Amino acid sequence: MIFLAAVLSNVWLFVAPNPSDGRQELQVYVSPDFEGVTGDTIVVDAGYGLLIKDRLLISGLAMLKTVEDIAPGEKDYRFRELDVACEYLFKAHGSFQPYVRVLLGMAWLNYINEKQSGLTFGAGTGLKFMLTDSTAIDLALTHRSSNERVFINDFKLQKADLEIRLGLRVRF
């Protein structure tokens, strides 16, 4: 056990960012959901990332959707998802920097009489527009799938979801 702790601490020292290098990133996204349980809705999620190599970013994203009183009685809609994403950042072209992303996570859904949880996985692409050296507006398209029906589209439980995100990223 001590050996494992020593190895992990040395790995962390290797990949841990130096705050002065601008290798940490905060992410906030706003996503329109045109097929949600109440029709058109806006979803907000947040994340934290570490740039572990020049063009490789590892991040964690958390999403929480809660819609109260959409069904008769005491039934509500709640969706929670935690993801770990890996992004490859391509060379910037002026103020634009394209990237590709893969993600793996877990989702939990409570909808009317359904309670589901499932492993989620997905891939996507995005384009960052650099406002400054440390701040960017991000537009991303992500397709996610699950081993269970944890996504809702047009009031139906499904195993896949396509999402558009608009976000702000700040590197420090």
Domain edges within the chain: 19-171
What is the pTM (predicted TM-score) of this model?
0.77
Sign of CA dihedral 168, 136, 82, 163: positive
State the fold for domain 19-171: Porin (2.40.160)
- How far apart CA 164 and CA 45 sit, in angstroms, is 12
Q: Strand, helix or coil at 157?
A: strand
Residues in the chain: 172
User: What is the chain's pLDDT, residue by residue, as a tens digit (172 residues)?
Assistant: 444 344 444 433 344 433 345 789 999 988 877 766 666 667 788 899 999 988 899 998 887 776 654 555 555 678 889 999 999 999 999 999 999 999 999 999 888 788 999 999 999 999 999 999 899 999 999 999 999 999 888 778 999 999 899 999 999 9
